[in-house]
Amino acid sequence: MIVLGIDPGYGRCGFGVIESNESAMNGWSHLASGVISTSAETEFSDRLLEIGDDLVSIIRQYKPELLVIEQLFFAKNTTTAMKVAHARGMIVYVAKKEGVRVEDVMPNEVKQALTGYGAADKKQMQEMVKTVFGLSKVPEPDDAADALAIAWTGATRAAYL
């Protein structure tokens, strides 16, 4: 099973691709991770188009069965939250259009699943991603590490369904 995790954003959208692998330490192997970046100088609708086009390429390259995307959890900046919500909606649309099942996870669910502590900090999360996938270093930027954590959370939850 191949799972694509997404840390939604419109400036940087993290992605992480993992694959079930019985011989891997925790049953999952890291295939790819990174970010889809867009320029602040680009019109917002064009930024969404860039993200969508890049996501289609990632989906067609890795052929995931499941896309796991983090739900929004913002309290301060409404404008940013609205733009991330637009990006998130477009990501879900693209995944469904490409025939990929979509699951949501909450940020505290990802922290709980990966570290056993729902209020884990960024450094704890990054170190656990490195450990879970047997990587030599923490994936960079942090959006990519977050996306791998999101993928792993959704993948392990799906394994129990």
DSSP string, 82-96: HHHHHHHHHHHHHHH
What pLDDT, on the 0 to 100 scale, is given for residue 80? 86
What pLDDT, on the 0 to 100 scale, is given for residue 44? 97
- Strand, helix or coil for residue 78: helix
**What's the pLDDT band for 116 if we cut at 50, 70, 90?**
confident
What pLDDT, on the 0 to 100 scale, is given for residue 160? 56
CB 104 within 8 A of CB 150: no
What pLDDT, on the 0 to 100 scale, is given for residue 72? 83
Task: Give all strands (DSSP E) within the chain, no chain letters.
Answer: 2-7, 12-20, 28-37, 66-70, 101-105
**What's the pLDDT band for 93 if we cut at 50, 70, 90?**
very high
* 70 in catalytic set: yes
* 41 in catalytic set: no
Instruction: Compare 56 and 27 and report the one with higher pLDDT.
Output: 56
Q: Which of 7, 54, 142, 146 is catalytic?
A: 7
- Range 80-104 average pLDDT: 96
- Each residue of 117-134: pLDDT tens digit? 878 888 888 999 999 998
Q: Give the angle subtended at the CA of 66 by the CAs of 29 and 95, to the nearest 5°.
A: 125
- Strand, helix or coil for residue 16: strand
Q: Which of 22, 46, 50, 70 is catalytic?
A: 70
What pLDDT, on the 0 to 100 scale, is given for residue 158? 67
Q: Which of 54, 142, 143, 146 is catalytic?
A: 143
Q: What is the mean pLDDT of the chain?
A: 92
**What's the pLDDT band for 104 if we cut at 50, 70, 90?**
very high
Q: How far apart are CA 140 and CA 131, in angstroms?
A: 15
Domains annotated on the chain, with CATH: 2-159 (3.30.420.10)
Q: Is the pTM of this model over 0.95?
A: no
CB 4 within 8 A of CB 92: no
